[in-house]
Homo-oligomer: A and B are copies of this chain.
Amino acid sequence: MLTWNRYGKSRVRLVKVNRSKPQHELIDLTIDVKLEGAFEKVYTDGDNAPCLPTDTMKNTVYALARQMPIDHVEQFALRLAEYFSKKPGVSKVTVTASEQPWARLAPHAFAQAGAEQWTCVATRAGGATDLVCGVANLVLLKTTDSAFAGFPRDEYTTLPETRDRILATAMTASWKYRPQTTDFAVRSRIRSALVDTFAAHQSESVQHTLNAMGEAAIAAAADITEITLTLPNRHHLLVDLKPFGLDNPNEVFVATDQPFGLIEATLRRSPR
């Protein structure tokens, strides 16, 4: 005897950019929708007539996000709850939304300092010591000044070219200190050079921005001889809203975690 049931969609990832002012606004939400109501025969008879697909719930989140401003997560959760409460058979809606806060770096760039770690590897062998230090997992995002075009196309290429996309990464940098370095406060100067360059760069690719960041780091600190940067490309995909009669002028994105691009390189200080 079925005594209670609930169903819905979980972890719908939504990133919305408000580009209406010189300073872009960013809201980053993860949303769960759950419905209760007259759905018993879906369970007992395999009759899907009352069963709004959870895929439709996901689509609805993106379509409604396009159609209303979202200043606070609360407004959007209330709107979704109201919307789904009017669907046939629904007696109770639970919308759970969590917002990932981002700190502003620049008018079009943001950081999540949360998982950031400062790293250090000291290796001692044969009387000599190598010291390689860095910053790991500093999450950065820019809402414009990032392109990817002019790439070669083969039989398996479907990616459209773009002159304006979101660029997001979780930066890991590690640099090698000259022997006898003692001024380790330089870490914060290197970190600033990396972050500021990410924010300001006119990016043709992750590779292009990586190179600029590495050059800036080497210029910022005479004590480092080389730097390795590892930049995953945390893809933010523009949601196709045309099936719903809506445009999407670079506003509504789905943040994905896999697969991801991974770009790595080492830059060394040039001998004079």
A residues whose Cβ falls under 8 Å from a Cβ of B: 1-13, 32, 34, 36, 39, 42-56, 58-60, 63, 72-75, 77-78, 80-82, 84-85, 87-88, 91-101, 112-126, 129, 131, 133, 136, 148-159, 177, 184-185, 187, 203-208, 210-211, 214, 226, 228, 232-233, 243-244, 257-270
Contacts and interface: CB of A to CB of B under 8 A. Distances in A.
A129 B81 contact: yes
Given A49-B150, A54-B262, 12 more contacts: A1-B267, A3-B226, A3-B268, A7-B264, A11-B259, A48-B149, A55-B158, A59-B157, A77-B121, A98-B120, A99-B120, A112-B114
B46 A204 contact: yes
B151 A52 contact: yes
A130 to B, nearest CB: 9
A158 to B, nearest CB: 5
B115 A1 contact: no
A95 B122 contact: yes
A75 B44 CA distance: 35
A100 to B, nearest CB: 6
A261 B54 contact: yes
Given A51-B205, A52-B154, A151-B52, A2 B211 contact: yes
A265 B43 contact: yes
Contacts of A122: 74, 77-78, 80-81, 93-95, 97
A118 B98 CA distance: 5
B118 A73 contact: yes
Q: Which of A7, A63, A129, A205 has the most CB of B within 10 A?
A: A7
Contacts of A60: 156
B88 A34 contact: no
Nearest to A181: B74
